Amino acid sequence: MKENILVALDGSECGERALGAATKNAQITDSRLFLTYVIDWSPYTFNTPEENEQRHQRRESEIQKASETIVNPKAQELRDAGLEAETVVRHGKIAETLVNLTSELDIDQIYIGKIGESRLQTMIFGSVTAALVQASSVPVTVVP
């Protein structure tokens, strides 16, 4: 049976290496790849109805931009190479959203880069990768 592999992309070089490792695995095992980008987003702010509408529009714009610039081009490259690739872009707490996607998409394995887009943010707030490894119910491959 074909496995489903989730690849967490963030636009960083480390994320690119995670995609490369996942791609090699998918070629060997004939697996389906789900390329995902999670936009860090907190629903816990207090806004007026007008601010909420603006926020919703900005959120939709961010999803479209991430789809068009990060996940869709990579997925098309993979499809052109004969692999199955789908894309998912979401807002939310990154590790929590990735864990939720494992159930939603019936994911068998996750690939993620060791260091994401913001090294300073990681040092201050903690690592998304570490949180994902702790919370995931499926194997997580961390790519340096």
Helix axes 94-104, 128-135, angle to 10 degrees: 40
Q: What is the pTM of this model?
A: 0.85
Residue-range definition of the domain harbouring residue 73:
28-143
> Total domain count for the chain?
1
Q: Is residue 108 part of a domain?
A: yes
Backbone angles phi, psi at 119, to 5 degrees: -65, -40
pLDDT at 124: 38
Q: Is residue 11 part of a domain?
A: no
Q: Is residue 23 part of a domain?
A: no
pLDDT higher than threshold 80 for residue 66: yes
CATH number of 71's domain: 3.40.50.620
Q: Is residue 12 part of a domain?
A: no
Q: Is residue 10 part of a domain?
A: no
Categorize the per-residue pLDDT at 137 as very low, low, confident or very high, splitting at 50, 70 and 90: very high
Q: Is residue 72 part of a domain?
A: yes
Please write the tens of the pLDDT for every residue from 6-52.
999 998 898 999 999 999 999 999 999 999 999 987 655 666 777 76
